[in-house]
Amino acid sequence: MAQKPSIPKGTRDFSPSEVAKRNFIIQSIKEQFEKFGFQPIETPSFENSETLMGKYGEEGDRLIFKILNSGDFLRKVDEQAYKGKDSLKITSSISEKALRYDLTVPFARYVVQHRNELEFPFKRYQIQPVWRADRPQKGRFREFFQCDADVVGSDSLWQEVEFVQLYDAVFTSLGLEGVTIKMNNRKVLSGFAEVIGESDKLIDFTVALDKLDKIGEEGVEKEMGEKGISSEAIQKIRKVFGLKGTFSEKIEVLKGILATSEIGTKGIEELEFINSAINELGLSTANLDLDVTLARGLNYYTGAIFEVSAPKGVAMGSIGGGGRYDDLTGIFGMSGVSGVGISFGLDRIYLVLEELNLFPETVARNIKALFINFGNKESLYCLKAIKELRSAGVAAELYPEEAKMKKQMNHANKREIPFVILAGAEEIENKKFTLKNMKSGEQQAVSLENLISILEK
């Protein structure tokens, strides 16, 4: 064989059984999305560069896959930029399209572009691949699926409440019990920065705070210091680090800390509203927790922030996230439309279900019976039966070659086909079929009617 073919870094092929399992997850998610009133849309794999660039911060721009222009693109490159090896400028002149980086920004574009056709509040879901030029790691790929549900055009906090319920419904239906839905509010984070007098360093502050569970209190304080946050400010915020207890207990502590901040107090009220509603409504298997260190990377969140982590004991990053962004469509010139949404990380959920052995055995579609091939005359007899079986809803097939019995039986074994049917000269004469159960080894001669009724079960 010549040089073995390969696929690019961070991409994957999916085998039949993997596709079956992925479809199982996607089906469960879709079912819940639709139960909650979301409708599917799809957007193109690639967008105009200007739609994506600059929407995810500097880091995000670096991770966007750019598509090279067709034709003699170098001719149009700015001479100055080319000579100065200015990659940034050259990129914008040789690449006008880029692969989508997430589903939220294309959705914002969609809403603005179709604003006059949409009925608000508009609830959509979208399950499509996205691409990031990231370094792959466990559960991190360069091509992966996102499953998003968003509502635009409603400020109501009941939306947040419904999203918590939606998370619970999806993970419950997947059999993944004990996930933790962590919640925070951007306004609380702003409140912290305000209270300690470092409002202008909000981003640096939240990025450092977000790392608490990873680098510990000392690490966070060190990083905040490095970013120019004063030690008095850090002193003031320390008690937030060790915040413990139930959702409501944490709320009470935070009320005290943020009493002087209007925006912080607003954030607390929102969290309290959602929590008490959820307490009243109840969750099936998920837990709701308040995590004030939750910041998440996306800068466009303005209210609630969600992140879902796998049940304890499973080493996996977040398996879902989301939040409210009051002005997402503002970046496309349509302001005053509030949106809130959540996302499911399909690939990570897959890994978690696999690790916990939670895929039902029945996810893989398989045929019920294989007919052994004894020759052309017998095959025709079999195919007549197969036709009847199929129209009765039973998946069955004929082994295509008149191969040795051993080979045909083996094939059925490998494919884990539960029944094998033999029909040779003798069966044809008696208008019967020999049905063999591959598990028990038992076999019996049955009529076509019996065959159908047995396999229909």
Partner RNA sequence: GUGGUUGUAGCUCAGCUGGUUAGAGCGCUGGAUUGUGGUUCCAGAGGUCGCCGGUUCGAACCCGGUCUUCCACCCCA
Binding site for RNA (CB under 7 A): 1, 3, 6, 8-10, 56-57, 59-60, 62-63, 102, 132, 134-142, 144, 146, 207, 211, 214, 296-298, 307, 317-321, 343, 345, 347-348, 374, 404-407, 409-410, 412-414, 422-427, 434, 436, 438-439, 441, 443
Name the residue with tokens 């494919």.
415
DSSP conformational letter for 106: H
Pick 153 or 317: Cβ nearer RNA: 317
Q: How far is the CB of 415 from RNA (least distance, A)?
A: 11
Q: Considering the complex, what minimum distance in angstroms separates the CB of residue 36 from RNA?
A: 20
Shortest gap between Cβ of 392 and RNA (angstroms)? 23
Any idea what DSSP says for residue 75? G
Inter-residue contact 56 to 298 (CB < 8 Å): yes
The two structure tokens encoding residue 266 = 């607003």
Residue among 219 and 245 whose Cβ is closer to RNA? 219
> Closer CB to RNA, residue 258 or residue 305?
305
Strand order across the beta sheet in which 287-290 lies: 39-40, 122-131, 143-152, 339-345, 318-325, 304-309, 180-185, 287-290
**How near is the Cβ of 447 to RNA at its closest, in Å?**
15
E strand or H helix at 34: helix 16-35
CA 345, CA 103: separation in Å to the nearest integer?
12
Name which of 216 and 336 has its Cβ closer to RNA: 216
CB of 202 to RNA, least distance (A): 14
Q: How far is the CB of 417 from RNA (least distance, A)?
A: 9
Q: What 3-state class would DSSP assign to 197?
A: coil
Spatial separation of the C-alpha atoms in residues 346 and 11, rounded to whole Å: 14
CB of 327 to RNA, least distance (A): 18
Q: Enumerate the β-bridge partners of residue 324.
A: 340
Tell me the closest approach of the beta carbon of residue 101 to RNA, in angstroms.
9
Distance of CA 166 to the CA centre of its chain: 14
Nearest distance from C-beta of residue 212 to RNA, angstroms: 12
Q: Which two tokens stand for residue 193?
A: 């920065």
What burial letters (b/e) apply to 392-403, b meaning 16+ CB within 10 Å? Answer: eebebbbbeeee
State the nearest-atom distance from the C-beta of 226 to RNA, in Å: 11
Q: Which is nearer to RNA, 123 or 132 (CB)?
A: 132
Give the residue among 144, 162, 102 at the shortest CA–CA distance from 296: 102
Q: How far is the CB of 7 from RNA (least distance, A)?
A: 8
CA–CA dist 355, 332 (Å, integer): 42
143-152 and 46-48 beta bridge pairing: unpaired
CB distance 29 to 127 below 8 Å: yes
Type of residue numbered 238: R
Nearer to RNA, 151 or 421 (CB): 421
Tokens standing for residue 108? 């914002």
Q: Which residues pair with 398 in a beta bridge?
A: 371
Please tell me the distance from the alpha carbon of residue 247 to that of residue 257, in angstroms, as a whole number: 16
Helix (H) or strand (E) holding 406, with range, is: helix 405-414
CB nearer to RNA: give 248 or 437: 437
User: Two tokens at 454?
Assistant: 């047995």
Name the token pair of 313.
Answer: 């004991």
Q: Which is nearer to RNA, 104 or 261 (CB)?
A: 104
Dist. CA 18–CA 418, nearest whole Å: 21
